[in-house]
Amino acid sequence: MQFKNIIGQAGVKEKLAEMVNHNRLSHALLFLGAEGSGALPLAIAFSQYIVCEKINTQNISSIGPSLFGEHNLKDDQSLIMRDACGICPSCVKAQQLIHPDIHFSYPVIPKKTGDKPLSVDYISEWREFVTQYPYGNIFDWLQFIGAENKQGNITAYECNDIIRKLSLKSFESGYKILIMWMPEYLGNEGNKLLKLIEEPPPNTLFILVAENESMILPTIISRTQLIKIPLLEKKDIETALMERANISAEQARKVASISQENYREALQLLQHAEDDWQGLLRDWLNAILKTGPIAQVHWVDEISKIGREKQKQFLHYFNHLLEQAIRLKTIGESSLNIPENEKDFAIRLNKIADISQQQAIIEALDNAIYYIERNAHARMLFHALTIKLYHIIANKTLAEVF
């Protein structure tokens, strides 16, 4: 995987290339980025950049043989390669995720009761998953390996295996790289790795790829150099959807606008692009504001059946319409370039709730999304959310129903 295959993140790519070419690279990096930002594919592309034979030849000939050495910077910045070549034998292996000096660690489950699971037990599945779903999240991965409701972990047994592998000499590139995805799933057993991270063998690099810094062992964080991966720009998501999913510019704009700067979410939305979220929302609001408890119970029963991912997408869509309603009220209709059906719905939302009420609803929806991601009971959650929305807007006289 090359940097050119990564959506957006131009600033991060430039920084990573400069870290290598200017010898400012720490032995342990923490790539911290929200779901759908591309932190994992960036880490994989970076590892390929490091082992690329042309990059190595360039560095050895101009600044010396050590990735982590102290050398003078190059005078001619135009000579610095900003991406792996993609054609040398090392790049070919790295792209297929079979380079012998690039190792992976990720949460796994025992294949059978009593097993001590290792990441390598699932290496074939891992290669297939990264190839098909490079922007996938931990839920996607655990479902991919058939975990169902089981909790994935990075175990003490895995830590021992990492120590063993990294104590060996490199096979081809001169560098040994470990990419650990989701170190949030590494418990106190991660302290086994502290000495190795702090005093690694020569030319050994740890890359931790995480979404939530607060869930990582502080002793590990203190030994890493933080690389923040920002959310994707909507224009980059639009471009990627048009080029990779072969959809129209208008459809790409619509999906990107409600994707929460999350490319995974954009793909999920595209997969369900034909779902009538607006109709579902209209039914919900009418049940809350007009038709009463029986209609509410019926609506909650229906949405409880559609699955967690669709429930999240529906709530994201409601949030999107509320944000459009706020923009409509603050900057005016003439300045808002959105589809007519969304504009009409936003106007109706402004008739039933003022800006403070809309902000309260957005907060309630965000909380609901948070709990859905953590496997909250759908029927109970949507019953509670229905009651909460009623109370948020109950003190406003309804000018129009949906």
Residue 274: predicted pLDDT? 59
Residue 260: predicted pLDDT? 77
**Using one digit for the tens of pLDDT, what is the confidence trace for 63-99?**
444 455 444 444 444 446 788 988 999 999 999 999 9
Low-confidence ranges of the chain (pLDDT < 70): 57-80, 149, 272-275, 333-339, 395-402
Q: Is the pTM for the entire model greater than 0.75?
A: no
Cβ(328)–Cβ(350) under 8 Å? yes
Helix H or strand E segment including 291: none
- In angstroms and rounded to an integer, the radius of gyration of the C-alpha atoms of the chain is 24
Helix axes 234-244, 263-271, angle to 10 degrees: 50
Residue 323: predicted pLDDT? 84
CA distance linking residue 70 with residue 382, whole number of Å: 58
Helices (H), 190-307: 194-198, 218-221, 234-244, 249-257, 263-271, 277-286, 293-303
**Using one digit for the tens of pLDDT, what is the confidence trace for 352-380?**
888 889 989 999 999 998 898 888 899 99
CA distance linking residue 35 with residue 210, whole number of Å: 9
CATH class of this structure's domain 3-230: alpha beta
Bridge partners for 209 per DSSP: 31, 181
Residue 330: predicted pLDDT? 81
Would you say domain 275-393 falls under CATH 1.20.272?
yes
> Reduced to 3 states, what is the DSSP secondary structure of residue 199?
coil
Cα→Cα distances 250→117, 158, 259, 276, 394, Å = 46, 47, 14, 17, 36
* Cβ neighbours of 374 (radius 10 Å): 7
**Using one digit for the tens of pLDDT, what is the confidence trace for 315-337?**
988 888 888 888 888 877 665 56
Give me the phi and psi of 180, to 5 degrees please.
-105, 115
